[in-house]
Structure 1
Amino acid sequence: MPELITPTVRLQASFLTAVAEFHAEPGQAVPWFVKDVDPAALTDPGPDAFAAYVARVLAERTEAGMRRDAGVPMTTLWWAEGDQLLGRLAIRHRLTPNLERIGGHIGYDVRPGARRRGHATAMLAAALPVAAELGITGALLTCDETNTASRRVIEANGGRLTATEGNKLRYLLPTT
Structure 2
Amino acid sequence: MSVSIASSIVSLHEPGRDALPAYVRALEAGWSPNTMRNVAPEQLAAIAADPDAFVAGLNQRGGTIRLHDGSEVARLPDMIRWIIATDRPERPFVGSINLRWQEDESGKPVTELPPHVLGHVGYTILPQHAGRGYASAALAAVLAEARTVGLPFLKITCDVANAASRRIIEKAGGRFVESFVAPLYGPEERLMYRIDLQS
Shift of 1:135: 1.6
Distance apart, 1:23 and its partner CA? 4.6
Unaligned runs of 5+ in 2: 1-8, 66-71, 103-111, 182-188
Query: How many Å separate the matches in 2 of 1:141 and 1:160?
Result: 10
Pick closer, same or farther for the CA change 1:23–1:85 going to 2, 3 Å.
closer
Matched, 1:139 2:147: no
Give the conservation status (yes or no) of the 8 Å contact 1:86–1:110.
Answer: yes
Instruction: Tell me the residue number matched to 1:77.
Output: 81
User: Counting helix residues as a fraction of each chain, which structure ranks higher?
Assistant: 1
TM-score normalised according to structure 1 size? 0.80
Alignment of 1:70-109 (within 5 A): 71-81=75-85, 84-94=92-102, 95-99=112-116, 103-109=118-124
Identity fraction in percent: 27
Which residue matches 1:55?
A: 56
- Residue 51 of structure 1: SS of its match in structure 2? helix
Report the more deviating stretch, 88-97 or 163-172: 88-97
Partner of 1:113: 128
Residues matched between the structures, number? 162
Aligned Cα RMSD in Å? 2.4
- Aligned pair partner of 1:123 in 131, 138, 148: 138
Asked if 1:39 is matched to 2:45, the reply is yes
Alpha-carbon distance in 2 for matches of 1:135, 1:158 = 18
- Mean CA deviation greater in 64-73 or 156-165: 64-73
Is there any run of 5+ residues in structure 1 with no aligned partner, and where?
Answer: none
Shift of the 149–22 alpha-carbon distance from structure 1 to 2, 3 Å rule, reads: farther
Give distance in 1, aligned partners of 2:46 and 2:114.
33
Aligned to 1:172: 194
Which residue in the other structure is 2:23 paired with?
A: 15
Cα distance, 1:126–1:138 mapped onto 2, change above 3 Å: same
1:127-159 CA-to-partner distances (Å, cap 9, x unmatched) read 001011112110000111111111011001000
Identify, as 1 or 2, the structure richer in strand: 2
Post-superposition shift, 1:84? 2.4
| Counterpart contact for 1:22–1:112, Cα < 8 Å | no
What is the letter of the counterpart of residue 111 of structure 1?
L
